[in-house]
């Protein structure tokens, strides 16, 4: 099999992980990495013994596919340049900051006949994959994504930084269209939303409650699904799954169906490696991208709706608080 020529654009926190995964793939040739920070580029090229470029335009005619892990504000510019050259892209989440730019990228990818995959890596978490396979008729979903505060990701708010993973999973799990969204949130440390809660109602009556915080005292990444015959809890951080369901054959002493509990662990999994492998398979035409550009755009649309809801509700809450002192 001819090796696929790839590069990583942006080798900060996430980009260097992409680099490591590509280096471990036998049917991929890593042409090089790009970063506008000379010191970081020097560190990476020395450590991994790869070729480095300060300007991604210098590598654009040398590759078949790229991972784009630059700051979101330049996603559109960088992605459009590669798509215009017919190069497949795996772009980190969120796809862009606005729907207009996302739509232009989707149009360009379709016109050029190339893959546009969005890096929503939790879709590859084995606990999430198994959870979805067990979901038949969800009534209520609940997600919690809580992080300790770090400087990374503070260029955007918690909805686009953390909650978007759960938005994507919920939209992929519930087949119905979104009917209504209500959200609240607030700033705590940064000048952007640090804590957010959203309730999404779907047209079939399913409800989802999502909470995200980047100023929590501990790490927590859980998704719970409630359906008529079972309760499923996916621990994304620990990659464990708990399933509690009816035992159809046995009853307790009161005549109620007995509940059975099953726990599954996935200790040796690597969601990012699976994500990049899926991208390479999609580029080679083996299967469609697991998280397509359209799905990334759909998650962005809901995230932006949540942010707008928080903005409107914050104004009302602030006005209410101010009125108490007038």
Is 282 inside a domain boundary? Answer: no
pLDDT at 189: 87
Statement to judge: residues 43 and 102 lie in one domain: yes
Q: d(Cα 146, Cα 158) in Å, to the nearest integer?
A: 10
pLDDT at 248: 74
Residue where a domain stops, chosen among 97, 114, 131 = 114
What's the rounded mean pLDDT across residues 247-261?
Answer: 83
pLDDT at 212: 97
Highest mean pLDDT among 70-79, 150-159, 185-194: 70-79
Is 41 inside a domain boundary? Answer: yes
pLDDT at 318: 54
φ, ψ for residue 239, nearest 5 deg: 55, 55
Domain extent, residue 72, equals: 4-114
pLDDT at 317: 61
φ, ψ for residue 32, nearest 5 deg: 170, -175
Domain CATH code at residue 24: 3.40.50.720
Statement to judge: residues 129 and 106 lie in one domain: no
Is 325 inside a domain boundary? Answer: no
pLDDT at 324: 53
Instruction: Please report, for the chain, how many H helices and E strands are present, in that order.
Output: 9, 14
pLDDT at 28: 97
Locate 270 and state its tokens.
């690597």
Q: Mean of the per-residue pLDDT values for the chain? A: 93
Q: d(Cα 20, Cα 30) in Å, to the nearest integer?
A: 10
pTM (two decimals): 0.93
Statement to judge: residues 68 and 216 lie in one domain: no
Q: d(Cα 174, Cα 197) in Å, to the nearest integer?
A: 19
Q: How many CB atoms lie within 10 A of CB 5?
A: 17
| pLDDT single digits (tens) 155-179 | 789 999 999 999 999 999 999 999 9
Statement to judge: residues 181 and 78 lie in one domain: no
Contact (Cβ atoms closer than 8 angstroms) between residue 64 and residue 54: no
Statement to judge: residues 259 and 128 lie in one domain: yes
| pLDDT single digits (tens) 274-290 | 999 999 999 999 899 99
pLDDT at 227: 95
What's the rounded mean pLDDT across residues 2-24?
Answer: 96
Statement to judge: residues 132 and 210 lie in one domain: yes
Q: d(Cα 295, Cα 236) in Å, to the nearest integer?
A: 20
Q: d(Cα 98, Cα 208) in Å, to the nearest integer?
A: 24
Closest CA to 305 of 139, 164, 105: 164
What's the rounded mean pLDDT across residues 255-275?
Answer: 92
Statement to judge: residues 65 and 17 lie in one domain: yes
Where do we find the tokens 């942010």?
A: 307
Statement to judge: residues 17 and 74 lie in one domain: yes
Q: Give me the number of domains the chain comprises.
A: 2
Statement to judge: residues 63 and 129 lie in one domain: no
Confidence band, pLDDT 50/70/90 cuts, at residue 323: low
pLDDT at 181: 97
Q: How many CB atoms lie within 10 A of CB 220?
A: 15
Statement to judge: residues 181 and 147 lie in one domain: yes
Residue where a domain stops, chosen among 58, 85, 114 = 114
Statement to judge: residues 61 and 161 lie in one domain: no
pLDDT at 61: 96
pLDDT at 117: 98
Tell me the angle at which helices 271-283 and 15-23 cross, rounded to the nearest 10 degrees: 70
pLDDT at 326: 45
The H or E element that residue 135 is part of is: none
Is 240 inside a domain boundary? Answer: yes
Closest CA to 115 of 266, 264, 322, 294: 294
Is 133 inside a domain boundary? Answer: yes
């Amino acid at each position: 099999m001819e090796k696929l020529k790839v590069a990583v654009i942006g080798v900060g926190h996430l980009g260097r992980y992409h680099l490591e995964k590509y280096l471990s793939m036998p049917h991929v040739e890593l042409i090089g990495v790009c970063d506008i920070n000379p010191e970081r580029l020097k560190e990476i090229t020395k450590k991994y013994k790869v070729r480095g470029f300060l300007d991604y335009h210098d590598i654009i005619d040398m590759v078949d596919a790229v991972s784009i892990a630059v700051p979101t504000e330049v996603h559109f510019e960088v992605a459009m340049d590669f798509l215009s050259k017919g190069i497949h892209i795996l772009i980190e989440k969120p796809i862009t900051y606005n729907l207009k730019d996302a739509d232009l990228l989707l149009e360009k990818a379709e016109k050029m006949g190339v893959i546009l995959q969005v890096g929503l890596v939790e879709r590859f978490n084995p606990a999430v994959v198994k959870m979805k396979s067990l979901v038949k008729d969800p009534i209520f979903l609940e997600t919690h994504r809580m992080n300790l505060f770090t400087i990374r990701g503070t260029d955007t708010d918690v909805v686009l930084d953390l909650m978007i993973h759960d938005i994507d999973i919920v939209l992929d799990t519930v087949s119905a269209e979104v009917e209504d969204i209500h959200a609240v949130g607030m700033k705590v440390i940064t000048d952007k939303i640090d804590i957010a809660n959203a309730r999404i109602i779907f047209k079939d009556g399913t409800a989802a409650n999502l909470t995200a915080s980047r100023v929590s005292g501990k790490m927590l990444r859980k998704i719970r699904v409630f359906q008529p015959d079972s309760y499923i809890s996916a621990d994304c951080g620990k990659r464990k799954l708990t399933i509690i369901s009816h035992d159809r054959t046995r009853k307790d002493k009161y005549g109620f169906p007995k509940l059975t509990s099953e726990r599954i662990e996935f200790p040796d999994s690597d969601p990012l490696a699976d994500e990049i492998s899926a991208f390479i398979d999609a580029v080679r035409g083996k299967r469609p991208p697991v998280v397509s550009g359209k799905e990334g755009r759909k998650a962005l649309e809901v995230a932006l709706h949540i942010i707008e809801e928080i903005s409107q509700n914050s104004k009302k809450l602030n006005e209410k608080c101010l009125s108490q002192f007038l």
